[in-house]
C-alpha cells in the first residue's frame, strides 16, 4: 500500500459520521456572508444595503489576481453591510441577508440530470471557474482558477485529486465521493482538460474502502483516471505528502507542486468545478461534517455559505452538556471557535464538538529530548529546535533550519509526551520569519 515515507502520525480515527448520508440543512432565517473567503485580497462588495438579491447573485467581486468572487447563497434582502466576528474573534466585513423564499438566479441549472459533455475550450473553463468563485475546499481556500493557470515554462503532467481526508473525525469528502462520485469524476475531467493533462490520480485512504470501490467502478468508464488506495496516515492530505505517496516525487523546499509537474485539488473542489462549469452554479454551499463523541446526531450537512454555526449544531441535536470546545475544521488543524454565531465559509470542512475533558491541553512540561517530534515531522524538520529558536526570537537561524517548510500539520505537538506547544511556536516563528524575508526583499 502506498504512503509517504517521512514522519507522520496515526491519530485515533473517530469517523463517527461516516455512515450518515448528506442531508440538506433547511434554509436559515438570516445569513451573514464574509467578503473575504479565499486566500489573498478581500473582495469588494458590489451590493448596497436594502438591495434584493437572488440565490447565486454576485455580491462581492475579487479584484486582484489571487482573490475570488463571493455570491449570495440565499435570496432575500441585504439588511446591512457590517463587521462579523470571525473564528478568531476579530472583525471582518460581511454582507447580512434576511432570507425571503428561495429564488435562484436565471441560468443556473438546478436539475439533477448529469451533463457529461465537456466544453473543449480551456479558457472558457478557467473563466467560468473564476466567475463562479470556486476555491479550494480542502480548507486553505486558494482560488482554483489560479492553480489552473500554469506559469510559463512549467508543464503539468498529472492531476492529483485529494480524497485522502486524513483528519480524524471529518467525513464530508468521504460522503461526497460516495454520493456525488459520478459528477465529481466529470469535474476531474474538466480540470484535466483545463490543465491539458491526460492522467489523473485520486488518492483515497483505505479506511474509506466503499469510496475506493465506488470510484474505481466509475473510473473504469473513464480512461486516464485512476484511484490510488493509500495507507492510513496523517498528514497524507498535505499536497506534498500526497505527491510523495502517489507519485514518489518530492516537491523542493519553497516550491509549488507544479515544479514536479503536479496540480493537486480536493474532491470537493472537483465537484464545485463540475457545478460551476456544467451547471453554471456558483459556489454557494458545501458539505460540512458536524460531529463529536457526545453529539446526539452526528451528520454530514449540505449547508449554504453564511449559515451560522449554531444552526448546524442545533440540527445535530444541540450543544451537548459536556461540550468543552467547538472546533471549526478537524481536530489536528482546526481552530477553536470563540462564538457559535460565526458563519460557515467556503473553507469550513467540519464542526467538531469536543468533550470538556478531552479538549483541555495538557500542561507543558520540560522537554525531555526524546526526539519524537523529529520522527513525526513529515517535512523532516526538527520541531524542538525550531520552537526554541522561535521562542528566543532567532529567526535568521530558524530560516536556515527551514522553518518556512513547516506545513503546520501539528504532528509534532500531537506526539510530544511533554505536551509542549511546539506548533504554536512554529507558527509564530513562521510568521515572524516570513516578515523578515519580505522586508529583506524590499531593500
Partner 1 sequence: MNETVLFAVLSLSAIGVASAVILYFVAQKFKVIEDPRIDVVNEILPGANCGGCGLAGCRAFAEELVKTGDLSKLNCPVGGSDTMKQIASVLGLEAEEKEPMIAVVRCNGSRINAPQKVIFDGAESCAFAHALSAGESGCPNGCLGLGDCVVSCKFDAIYISPETGLPVVSDEKCVACGACVTACPRKIIELRKKGKKDRRIFVSCVNTEKGGPAKKNCSVACIGCGKCVKECPYDAITMQNNLAYIDYDKCRLCRKCAPVCPTGAILETNFPLRKEKPGEPGTEKVAEPVTAG
- C-alpha torsion 270→275→280→285, nearest 10: -100
Shortest CB 146 distance to partner 1, Å:
25
Answer for which of 66, 396, 431, 437 binds partner 1 (CB under 8 A) is 431
User: Does position 80 bind partner 1 by CB under 8 A?
Assistant: no
Strand pairing of 350-355 and 335-336?
unpaired
**Per-residue x/- track, 314-353, partner 1 (CB under 8 A):** ---------------------x--x---------------
Burial of 47 (0-12, 13-18, 19+ CB in 10 A): middle
Start-to-end CA span in the chain (Å)? 49
Specify the residue, 206 or 427, whose C-beta has the smaller distance to partner 1: 427
Exposure class string for 379-410: b at 16+ Cβ within 10 A, else e? bebbbbebbbbbeeeebebbbebebebbbebb
User: Does position 421 bind partner 1 by CB under 8 A?
Assistant: yes
Specify the residue, 209 or 431, whose C-beta has the smaller distance to partner 1: 431
User: Does position 92 bind partner 1 by CB under 8 A?
Assistant: no
Helices (H) and strands (E) in the chain, counts: 14, 17
Q: How far apart are CA 133 and CA 69, in angstroms?
A: 5
User: Does position 432 bind partner 1 by CB under 8 A?
Assistant: yes
Which residues are annotated binding-site positions for [4Fe-4S] cluster?
Answer: 367, 370, 373, 377, 406, 409, 412, 416
**φ, ψ (nearest 5 deg) of residue 52:** -100, 125
Cα 277 to chain centroid, rounded: 20
- How many chain residues are in contact with partner 1, going by CB under 8 A? 17
Q: Which stretch binds partner 1 (CB under 8 A): 12-20, 206-214, 229-237, 421-429?
A: 421-429
User: Does position 360 bind partner 1 by CB under 8 A?
Assistant: yes
User: Does position 297 bind partner 1 by CB under 8 A?
Assistant: no
User: Does position 93 bind partner 1 by CB under 8 A?
Assistant: no
Instruction: Tally the C-alpha atoms within 13 A of residue 134's C-alpha that lie toward its C-beta.
Output: 31
Q: Which stretch binds partner 1 (CB under 8 A): 175-183, 350-358, 375-383, 418-426?
A: 418-426
Specify the residue, 286 or 430, whose C-beta has the smaller distance to partner 1: 430
Cα 115 to chain centroid, rounded: 26
Shortest CB 426 distance to partner 1, Å:
10
Amino acid at each position: 500500500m502506498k504512503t509517504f515515507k517521512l514522519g507522520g502520525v496515526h491519530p485515533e480515527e473517530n469517523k463517527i459520521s461516516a455512515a450518515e448520508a448528506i442531508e440538506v440543512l433547511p434554509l436559515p432565517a438570516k445569513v451573514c456572508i464574509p467578503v473575504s473567503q479565499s486566500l489573498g485580497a478581500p473582495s469588494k462588495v458590489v451590493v448596497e444595503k436594502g438591495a434584493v438579491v437572488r440565490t447565486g447573485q454576485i455580491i462581492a467581486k475579487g479584484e486582484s489576481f489571487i482573490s475570488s468572487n463571493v455570491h449570495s447563497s440565499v435570496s432575500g434582502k441585504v439588511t446591512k453591510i457590517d463587521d462579523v466576528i470571525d473564528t478568531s474573534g476579530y472583525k471582518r466585513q460581511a454582507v447580512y441577508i434576511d432570507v425571503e423564499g428561495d429564488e435562484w438566479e436565471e441560468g443556473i441549472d438546478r436539475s439533477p440530470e448529469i451533463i457529461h459533455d465537456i466544453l473543449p475550450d480551456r479558457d472558457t473553463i478557467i473563466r467560468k471557474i473564476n466567475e463562479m468563485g470556486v476555491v479550494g475546499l480542502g480548507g486553505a481556500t486558494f482560488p482554483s482558477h489560479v492553480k489552473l493557470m500554469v506559469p510559463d515554462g512549467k508543464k503539468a503532467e498529472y492531476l492529483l485529486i485529494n480524497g485522502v481526508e486524513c483528519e480524524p473525525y471529518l467525513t464530508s469528502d468521504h460522503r461526497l465521493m460516495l454520493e456525488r462520485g459520478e459528477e465529481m469524476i466529470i469535474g476531474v475531467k474538466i480540470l484535466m482538460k483545463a490543465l491539458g493533462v491526460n492522467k489523473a490520480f485520486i488518492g483515497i485512504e483505505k479506511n474509506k474502502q466503499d469510496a475506493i470501490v465506488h470510484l474505481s467502478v466509475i473510473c473504469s468508464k473513464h480512461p486516464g483516471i485512476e484511484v490510488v488506495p493509500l495507507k492510513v496516515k496523517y498528514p497524507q492530505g498535505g499536497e506534498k505528502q500526497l505527491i510523495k505517496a502517489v507519485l514518489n516525487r518530492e516537491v523542493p523546499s519553497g516550491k509549488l507542486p507544479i515544479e514536479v509537474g503536479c496540480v493537486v485539488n480536493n474532491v470537493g473542489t472537483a465537484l464545485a468545478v463540475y457545478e460551476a462549469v456544467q451547471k453554471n452554479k456558483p459556489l454557494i454551499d458545501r458539505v460540512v461534517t458536524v460531529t463529536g463523541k457526545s453529539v446526539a446526531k452526528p451528520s454530514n450537512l449540505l449547508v449554504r455559505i453564511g449559515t451560522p454555526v449554531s444552526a448546524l449544531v442545533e440540527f445535530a441535536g444541540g450543544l451537548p452538556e459536556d461540550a468543552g470546545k467547538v472546533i471549526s475544521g478537524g481536530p489536528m488543524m482546526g481552530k477553536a471557535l470563540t462564538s457559535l454565531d460565526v458563519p460557515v465559509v467556503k473553507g469550513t470542512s467540519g464542526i467538531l464538538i469536543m468533550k470538556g475533558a478531552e479538549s483541555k491541553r495538557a500542561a507543558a512540561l520540560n522537554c525531555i529530548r526524546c526526539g519524537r517530534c523529529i520522527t513525526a515531522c513529515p517535512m523532516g524538520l526538527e520541531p524542538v529546535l525550531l520552537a526554541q529558536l522561535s521562542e528566543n526570537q532567532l529567526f535568521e537561524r530558524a530560516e536556515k533550519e527551514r522553518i518556512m517548510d513547516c506545513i503546520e500539520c501539528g504532528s509534532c505537538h500531537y506526539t510530544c509526551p511533554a505536551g509542549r506547544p511546539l506548533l504554536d511556536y512554529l507558527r509564530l516563528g513562521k510568521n515572524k520569519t516570513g516578515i523578515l524575508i519580505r522586508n529583506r526583499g524590499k531593500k
